[in-house]
Structure 1
Amino acid sequence: MAVPRSGIETLEILANSPLTGSELAATLRVDITQSSRQVTRLVRAGLVIKERAPDDGRRIVHFLSDYGLQVVLRWQRSWLTEMRRPLDTWADDDVNGFADWIECAVDRVRRTLPVPAGTEPDVAEQSGTRIAISEIAGNPVEARCLSAIADFVYLIGRADFDAALAKARVSLSPSQYFVLQDIGWFGPTSVSDVVSRLALDQAAASRTISFLESENLVLRTDGGSDRRSRPVETTASGASILARIRTSRLDSLRNLFADIDQDLAQHYAVLNDHYLDDVLSTADMTAVRYG
């Protein structure tokens, strides 16, 4: 089955540890209603199981089914294989240098993130990567680098978007921002495709898109007389806001590394650009298909 990326994120979080509904919502940084709808879909798909906690019958906890764990492991293996592919042609010194940089980034980003209420610090900081990276990596040097990349991607996904939006002076909630971002990436796109990609309730997605439309951030393109079926895309104002948020987040990341020696920073920048260019040129796009 196809699992939207937001569903994979939930499964990866639950791969770390069973969580209650409120703990899961806090870790995902969404309201509990949205989290509950997503969990309900995953339960119906047989990926997640809800049971009473053995130590407290009043608490309902969510954990992965065997099938859910298989889906997570299959997706992680596919993703890590794509992330490893560029490293196959690199010298060990370059791979080690890139790992140094990513580990430095992980340490600095981790210190900026609040631990969600009700979540243990050691759980909140784990990337959720359950497979042995040595299965994917060609050697211990690659394994170290892949482990750092997995942690960095996970931590960036845990960013405090309320703070990021406030800093960019954008009057949107995180959920509204994610919908706008999705439309920016995939537009023109149908509302149903937004719902599928973000695992949203149809009514909630329609309300959010109507709000974004009222703020002149998105518009419905020509596509028939039925307004509900018309594709939606960002306006110039919507694209401008997305660019402002992206710039603000990049500025925050730059500030984290402002004290790094300039020559070393330039060396890291060269490795970083090399890696990103290689990923984009070699990535198998089927890796984004889950299930």
Structure 2
Amino acid sequence: MESSFKSGFVSIVGKPNVGKSSLMNKLMGENLSIITAKAQTTRHRIMGILTGADYQIVYSDTPGILEPKYSLQEAMMSYVKVSLEDADAILLVVGLEDKYEPEHFDRFKLLQTPILLVINKIDLGKGSQAFDKAAYWKEMLPNVNDIVTVSAKTGEHVADLLPRLLALMPFHPPFFPLDEYTDKTERFFASEIIREKIFLNYEEEIPYSTEVAITAFKDEPDIIRISSTIYVERDSQKGILIGKAGSSLKKVGMEARKDMEKFFGKKVFLETHVKVAGNWRKEKHKLRHFGYLE
């Protein structure tokens, strides 16, 4: 690889519900991160590998920054910490409506890593609001290298980020094979698609109390056969998830199967089961079983 090749890691961080996952998908041109209107949808660190003729940028979409209240959230925040430690540059994403909160943003004043502050949701702005917000954040976080206003929803100004990030990347051979676009497996994306449908179809605590495990993934010439288990914390949640005569679970399965066929480019047979794993979000051995802890 020629010495002019640039390669580095970019951590995409911010509070919940600021559009980090939408931004990651726009930057990648692929729907790698699930998106819902509910906070805390992202639970893992998901890498998107963008390779060009003379560069490779490894984006990390991370869980939203919060003060952890139980073991799952502690694991989620550990992904944020590792992502920031690895980063050659940081995309700190805030919403147009956000204000500086010391408990969330003071930590970024201490970092030596270059930071691009991204003000998202400018499609909702009026008049000089985006310009005024940029001035506000420059005053609150004077150590940021640059401020870019974007709309991850419409794609406005998202293309402005790549040249700014490339200017911050070190000269380095690629970290991943040139044809790879993520570090996650097909099983992972299958489980995330199901989890997205749960977030979109249920209210209250149900989405946060569920975890999805892919128990079988068989890629045949004409079809992918997938078996999944959706875990909940209580029997009452199991009943709500399944719904009357299985109607709710069937809807989730149909919507997930359609998205999987689009994602994998192939016909999919999907079966779903529901089981109870009591208090799984707070018990470390269960979190380990679900892959959140080593």
Shared fold per TM-score greater than 0.5: no
Which structure is richer in relative contact order (CA contacts within 8 A, separation 6 or more)?
1
Q: Which has the higher strand share?
A: 2
TM-score by length of 2: 0.28
Name the TM-score, length of structure 1 as normaliser. Answer: 0.29
